[in-house]
A and B are shown apart, each in its own frame.
Chain A
Amino acid sequence: MAASASGNSGKHTLCTFIRLKSVRCISQCNTSIRTVCTSGYTSQLQPRIQSKGVSSQLRGVVGLEIHAQVHATSKLFACSRVAFCSPPNSSVAFLDASLPGTLPVLNRRCVEAAVITGLALNCTINRKSLFDRKHYFYADMPAGYQITQQRLPIAVNGSLIYSYLGGKKRNQVLSRCVRIKQIQLEQDSGKSLHDDLRSQTLIDLNRAGVGLMELVMEADMSCGDEAAAAVRELQLMLQTLGTCQGNMSEGQLRVDANVSVHCPGEPLGVRTEVKNINSARYVARAIDYEIQRQKEVLESGGIIVNETRAFDSKSGTTIPMRDKEGLQDYRFMPEPNLPPLFVYEDEASVPVGVNPTQVVMIDRLKAELPELPGVRRARMVDQYKILPEHSFTLVNEDGLMEYFERVVRNTKAEPRKVIGWVMKELLGNLNQQSVKIAQRSLIQDQLDDHLHVFTVLVDTDPVSPEALADLLNVLESGHISSSAAKMVFQEMWKAPEKAVEQLVKELDLGLVSDREKLLKICQNVVDTHPEQVRVIRTGNKKVLNKLMGAVQKETKGRADPVQVRAILEEMTS
């Protein structure tokens, strides 16, 4: 990122900005010096002398605000159903439509979900938390205010530890920690469909009132990759906990990024908010684009305006949003209809005479926490001695870990070999299959973010764990070579009902270890390749591989490589 920025600072004209493909070009620049306008900021360009050294040190600063929809049957304050893709306005209670005379009644499941998430993220759970009203006008929020927790949220001061692939070849697993400022419960707004043709907006209140957990992260990240990795990790964690299904394409997890740039050591720059990021893929792209844009603006002498920008996935750029002009004053006020929310530490701290259904106990929820992804990965690495990168893939794909464990249980082969097979062969085939499915139904977005894609495929995976275990056993015992085993695997994929032994016999892939036969074949090869033999005899041992390849071709890959190598070495010495 820094390298490209310094490269750009060399170009002093503003013509470089034209490559930003954007439709909205706000031509408010009326300085005579520079006449080319960019879409992106409405400030006037001020001619300022910027030293190239300073501009190339600009670093991005990213903070995320994540809204996760609580996985519950009913909404946060009303008894209507939480349903995705149901007929418009069909699961709307009177409270969601803000009809007069309705009052909010808090859903216990949402409180528990927030506490569970807080505990998993090492937060301090506030025993007492308060609800507030945040006022702003928009058609999809009929009440004119949103009930949220601004003064005293339910959980504060946590941390999320995530890892991302960094280093020069992006294969180094680097561990990072981002601080969580607070977790609060709030209401979702309805959905608005913009109909530009008829200049109207259609409002669907099915989503209005659904419980959201807003996770506010501190600005500890510096680039799009880190942010994307953090989001992925959070997605996985929430799915494991069961508090959120984490499906970004369905809107169950929404990410807004606050992006600014500054030189390290100096105060933070003006930040812009990037919205409309609909998929985990776009998180990195949107943030990287915004950081790059801000760097270019600063290098050319402009200033960054504090605004809200929408990410346009088609062009990969951010565009200023129309309705969010100026700084909003939300006029926070305490919610008069809701007394403070109390959660209790343990049995002993609950006052006498309180109904047990009214009590949310922290230690009980803590005891019921499932195994978190980080812990699971550590266990995989510990127990099976696999590489950390592989543990990531295993835990990431739903169902893959169970598959792997079943294979390991049924086979004599070492887990490290098994993981190699699972990673290369199994995932390779699954990837191909998913690519075909994606091409057929054009749901690339969903498949990218839907962490359950492989559960579906693993369920329909032709090669069952036991079959793979069989294959590996046969390989271990020395009946077939590894390349032959790969061929058998492909056949098993196509014809799952056939057993391993049957396939080996059919394809005649049994290892040829008969010394006589091998001697004959090797002699044949040595005779037909005199040139190579001479080269080997002069000292270049690498050419031996060529001869081995020839032998394997003769035997259709069935020759025992160890024996063949020994024989060839003998013959060519």
Chain B
Amino acid sequence: MFPCCFRRRSLLSSATGLGAAAPGSKAAAGRRLFTSRSSFRAAPLRPAQPRGRLSQLPTHGAWSTGRRAAGCRWSSNQSSSNAAISSKIPQFPTWEPVAESQLPPPTKVSLDLVDKLERLALVDFGNQEGVNCLEKAIRFADQLHVVNTDGVEPMDSVLEDRPLYLREDVVREGGCAEELLRLSKNTVEEYFVAPPGNIPLPTREERSAMLKHADF
């Protein structure tokens, strides 16, 4: 996705220099690069010194609605060795971290909630680190509370400007029972086979017994 992989690596290595570099881009309401950071394969998924760590960086005041700002701005300081290749991607992160004081109190994910989520969404938190990861993710999303949305209708679909297509009431599909049944390894006389009712998740006690044997 990103052509300048080598530049990214150099950016990572100069992570400690961020504190100094960031004020330079105060004027720039930069585009967030958070999503790209985690999906980028060449760089390690979790940098040795993760950026955006709120407790570590000095406060820089309110962070405006940079999310929807179009385009990204150049950071004038290019400490990259390959400055000759021009790119629209800023050389240094251009966001401004949000002050802890502006955020709502941190959400604690209780064990009951973990149980409920595991039952509803069938995700496995695994161990305490998984729960911590979730809490950090919630904290991260709490930054959205800084944005003032008074009088703004929430958008529930990016297709809100498109008309919903209505099709005619004709039959065009179906009659492919064999094809569908081939997908399941267990069928009985053209029926799919499932266990009787939902298999309940093991209780917390059973789960913690399982976890004790797992890595911790």
A interface, CB within 8 angstroms of B:
72-74, 78-81, 87-94, 97, 99, 105-109, 111, 130, 135, 137-140, 192-196, 199-205, 322-323, 329, 331, 334-336, 338-342, 354, 357-358, 360
Enumerate chain A residues within 8 angstroms of B176, measured Cβ to Cβ.
Answer: 92
Q: Scan B51-82; emit 1 where CB is below 8 A from any A CB, else 0.
A: 00000000000000000000000000000000
Note all chain B residues with C-beta closer than 8 A to A331: 120-121
Q: Which residues of A contact B168 (CB under 8 A)?
A: 108, 357
Asked whether A88 lies within 8 Å of B189 as measured between CB atoms, the reply is yes
B174 touching A91, Cβ below 8 Å: yes
The distance in angstroms between the C-alpha atoms of A74 and B170, with both chains bound, is 6
Looking at chain A's contact residues, the main secondary structure is loop
Q: Chain A residues near B183: list those with CB within 8 A.
A: 97, 99
Cβ contact within 8 Å between A202 and B192: yes
Most buried by B among A90, A196, A342: A90
Shortest distance between the CB of B203 and any CB in chain A (Å): 13
Q: In the assembly, what is the distance between CA of A223 and CA of B190, in Å?
A: 43
Q: Is the pair B170, A200 in contact by a Cβ cutoff of 8 Å?
A: no
Q: How far is B199's CA from A322's CA once the two chains are assembled, in angstroms?
A: 12
| A92→B157 contact, CB < 8 A | no
22 A-B pairs with C-beta separation under 8 A:
A74-B170, A74-B171, A78-B173, A89-B177, A92-B176, A107-B166, A107-B167, A108-B167, A137-B122, A137-B198, A139-B194, A192-B194, A196-B196, A202-B189, A202-B191, A202-B192, A329-B116, A339-B157, A339-B161, A339-B163, A340-B157, A358-B166
- Say yes or no: A79 contacts B192, CB within 8 Å: no
- Which residues of B have CB within 8 Å of A97? 180, 183
Complex-state Cα separation, A329 to B122, whole angstroms: 13
Q: Are B194 and A339 in contact (CB under 8 A)?
A: no
A106 near B164: Cβ-Cβ < 8 Å: yes
The winner among B116, B180, B195 for most chain A CB atoms within 10 A is B180
Instruction: Report how far A108 CA is from B164 CA in the complex, Å.
Output: 10
**Shortest 10 CB-CB contacts between residues of A and residues of B:** A139-B194, A80-B174, A202-B191, A334-B156, A109-B169, A339-B159, A93-B173, A108-B166, A79-B172, A203-B192
Q: Which residue of A lies closest to B194 (CB)?
A: A139
The answer on a CB contact under 8 Å between B190 and A106 is no
Q: Count CB-based A-B contacts (< 8 Å).
A: 140
Could you tell me the distance between the alpha carbons of A87 and B116 in the complex, rounded to whole angstroms?
A: 39
Query: 0/1 per residue, B135-175, Cβ < 8 Å to A?
Result: 00000000000000000000011111111111111111111
Q: Is the CB of A358 within 8 A of B165?
A: yes
Provided the pairs A80-B171, A336-B157 are in contact, do residues A194 and B190 lie with their beta carbons within 8 angstroms?
no
Q: Which residue of B lies closest to A358 (CB)?
A: B166
> CA of A322 to CA of B170 in the docked complex: distance in angstroms?
39
State the Cβ distance, B46 to closest chain A Cβ, in Å: 28
Interface size counted on chain B using CB atoms at 8 A: 40
Q: Which residue of B lies closest to A329 (CB)?
A: B120
CB-CB < 8 A to B120: which residues of A?
135, 329, 331
Tell me the minimal C-beta distance from B78 to chain A in angstroms: 39
The one of A93, A130, A354 that contacts B163, using a Cβ cutoff of 8 Å: A354
Indicate if the CB atoms of A193 and B191 lie closer than 8 Å.
yes
> 9 additional contacts, CB 8 Å, given A97-B183, A205-B192, A339-B162?
A74-B170, A203-B191, A322-B197, A323-B197, A329-B120, A331-B120, A336-B157, A358-B163, A360-B166
B158: nearest chain-A partner, CB-CB = A336
- Nearest CB on B from A74, distance (A): 5
B181 touches A89 (CB 8 A): yes
Contact yes or no, A80 B180, CB < 8 A: no
Q: Which residues of B contact A89 (CB under 8 A)?
A: 177, 180-181, 190-192
Return A353 CB to nearest CB of chain B, in Å: 10
A202 and B188 in contact (CB under 8 A), knowing A92-B180, A340-B160, A341-B164? yes
Separation of A354 and B177 alpha carbons in the complex (Å): 38
Nearest Cβ distance between residue B155 and chain A, in whole angstroms?
9
Give the CA-CA distance A135 to B120 in the complex, in Å: 8
Q: Which residues of B contact A106 (CB under 8 A)?
A: 164-167
Q: Is B133 an interface residue when CB atoms closer than 8 A count as contact?
A: no
